[in-house]
């Protein structure tokens, strides 16, 4: 069974509906494999929490259709149903053809689509909206509608009768206007699930609301009417560990693709979790991976952990391999300015970072690898993404080199990204390991002293 939850536009309630469906279906005893279309980290953190299985990203910018099908099938092993949350509007993509859209992912995987409609200040017009999406692309099968933000029973009745009369599609349910299952957000989207456990009550409330207001039997029947997808990919056998790689994993640093961590393990790394807020110092490791997150929110606590900051700086100075993305780059800086106050960071790299109220880089990236380096082949193209409101300032350029020239995106300054310093690569670009298999292998070899 598989299903895509999509919408005409962003902020229609896709995440709320998907989370509620996962919770409600799990209460029936089903094992749900969650997916998120696109390169997002934050929605997957909530989908992972709801499903009890790691959410996986599906992205046709990173993977070919064949790779996407194989990846999808492999991730669905052991699950009763796959539930895919779309991104933006159903047909929104990178080009006129919508080649990277949620619709393209649904077509590649042969998934029916349930459309979530934000019903605020709308009645009969909802039928015209749904009909337009229904007829826009015959390769995409819209199989049902879920209404969100419904005001009262009379409102729901008008919406339901209009949609079913003019489109022939079933309305599977309607969620009322309610604030107790809303998860607050900030500049990059929802607050990550691991950041504030007090928000987890919203997840339970969402599951209860979906169970009470959506016809789960009808939804399961739609999800069942799909041909089976098979995968010939075998589960890789992990090699004997060659290195211990420290990974910052805590409330400040939460942005990691499961595939990236798995790729490192498959390359021979034993992953050692490090809590940047609480651990008094570095464990015995051969290298570090510092992912993204919201270090600015926890800047005071990061600053207060003086011993760890000093040990990271010392390790970098002594040549320890470090791969850092976005939030990790910020932690390696000398100082971080947030809301008008400066906080001391590790000081491992010669620059400061300041937060802005507006995005500095937002979207997919395409980077050209220039010059020799231990991480990537010279001349190769790196595809990734960036979402950051911070920018690098006071950079001592005489002490660093840059790995990438930016062909798409912003990076450090619109021209370059990827600061190279000793055995450190720190940039705003987030990489997706299956797209660039050499990344994990080279990082592990570097940590093993073989590059």
Active site residue 326: yes
Beta strands in 267-415 (DSSP E): 269-274, 287-290, 292-293, 322-325, 335-338, 341-344, 352-355, 361-369, 381-388, 390-393, 401-408
Q: Give the whole-angstrom CA distance, residue 379 versus residue 404.
A: 10
- In three-state secondary structure terms, 71 is helix
Other beta carbons within 10 Å of 169: 19
SS3 content of the chain, % helix, strand, coil (to 5): 30, 25, 40
Instruction: Tell which residue, 416, 307, 319, has the closest CA to residue 374.
Output: 319
Instruction: Tell which residue, 310, 296, 309, 304, has the closest CA to residue 391.
Output: 296
Question: Dihedral angle at the C-alpha atoms of 16, 295, 276, 309, nearest 10 degrees?
Answer: 170
In whole angstroms, what separates CA 415 from the centre of its chain? 25
H helices of 267-358, where? 299-304, 306-317, 327-332
The two tokens of residue 342 are: 């400066």
Instruction: Tell which residue, 388, 214, 181, has the closest CA to residue 296.
Output: 388
In this structure, is the dihedral angle defined by the CA atoms of residues 321, 326, 331 and 332, taken in order, positive or negative?
Answer: positive
CA angle at residue 271 from 57 to 440, to 5 degrees? 60
The two tokens of residue 331 are: 């932690």
Q: Give the whole-angstrom CA distance, residue 328 versus residue 309.
A: 12
Return the DSSP state at 235: P
Q: Mention every residue, 6+ apart, whose C-beta is less than 8 A from residue 292.
A: 41, 253, 254, 255, 325, 326, 327, 328, 430
N- to C-terminal Cα distance for the chain?
Answer: 45
The residue annotated as part of the active site, out of 55, 75, 76, 326, is 326
Q: Give the whole-angstrom CA distance, residue 302 versus residue 279.
A: 11
Q: Mention every residue, 6+ apart, whose C-beta is less than 8 A from residue 82.
A: 1, 2, 3, 32, 33, 34, 35, 72, 75, 76
| β-bridge mates for residue 13, sequence order | none
Active-site residue set: 326
């Amino acid at each position: 069974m598989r299903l895509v939850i999509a919408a005409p536009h962003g902020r229609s309630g896709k995440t709320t509906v998907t989370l509620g469906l996962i919770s409600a279906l799990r209460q029936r005893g089903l094992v749900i494999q969650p997916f998120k279309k696109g390169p997002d980290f934050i929605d997957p953190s909530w989908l992972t929490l709801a499903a009890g299985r790691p959410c996986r990203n599906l992205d046709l910018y990173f993977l070919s259709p064949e790779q996407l099908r194989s990846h999808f099938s492999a991730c669905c092993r052991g699950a009763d149903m796959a539930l895919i949350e779309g991104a933006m509007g159903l047909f929104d993509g990178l080009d006129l053809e919508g080649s990277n859209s949620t619709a393209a992912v649904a077509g590649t995987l042969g998934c029916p689509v349930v459309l979530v409609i934000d019903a605020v200040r709308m009645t009969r017009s909802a039928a015209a909206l749904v009909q337009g999406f229904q007829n826009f692309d015959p390769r995409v099968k819209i199989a049902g509608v879920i209404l969100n933000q419904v005001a009262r029973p009379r409102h729901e009745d008008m919406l339901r009768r209009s949609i079913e009369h003019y489109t022939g599609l079933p309305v599977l349910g309607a969620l009322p206007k309610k604030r107790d299952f809303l998860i607050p957000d900030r500049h990059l989207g929802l607050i990550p699930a691991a950041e504030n456990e007090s928000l987890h009550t919203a997840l339970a409330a969402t599951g209860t609301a979906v169970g009470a207001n959506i016809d789960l039997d009808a939804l399961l029947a739609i999800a069942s009417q799909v041909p089976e997808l098979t995968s010939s990919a075998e589960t890789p056998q992990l090699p004997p560990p060659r290195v211990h790689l420290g990974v910052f994993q805590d409330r400040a640093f939460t942005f990691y693709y499961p595939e990236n961590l798995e790729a490192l393990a498959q390359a021979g790394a034993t992953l050692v979790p490090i809590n940047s807020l609480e651990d008094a110092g570095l464990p015995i490791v051969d290298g570090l991976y510092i992912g993204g997150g919201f270090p600015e929110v926890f800047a005071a606590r990061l600053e207060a952990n003086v011993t760890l900051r000093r040990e990271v700086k010392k390790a970098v100075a002594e040549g320890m391999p470090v791969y850092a993305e976005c939030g990790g780059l910020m932690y390696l800086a000398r100082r971080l300015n947030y809301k008008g106050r400066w906080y001391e960071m590790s000081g491992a790299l010669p620059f400061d970072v300041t937060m802005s109220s507006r995005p500095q880089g937002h979207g997919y990236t395409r980077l050209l690898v220039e010059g020799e380096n231990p991480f990537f082949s010279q001349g190769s193209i790196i595809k990734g993404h960036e979402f950051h409101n911070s920018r690098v300032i006071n950079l001592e350029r005489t002490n660093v080199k840059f790995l990438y020239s930016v062909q798409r995106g912003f990076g450090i300054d619109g021209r370059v990204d990827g600061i190279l310093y000793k055995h450190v690569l720190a940039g705003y670009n987030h990489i997706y390991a299956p797209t660039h298999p050499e990344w994990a292998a080279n990082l592990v070899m570097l940590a093993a002293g073989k590059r």
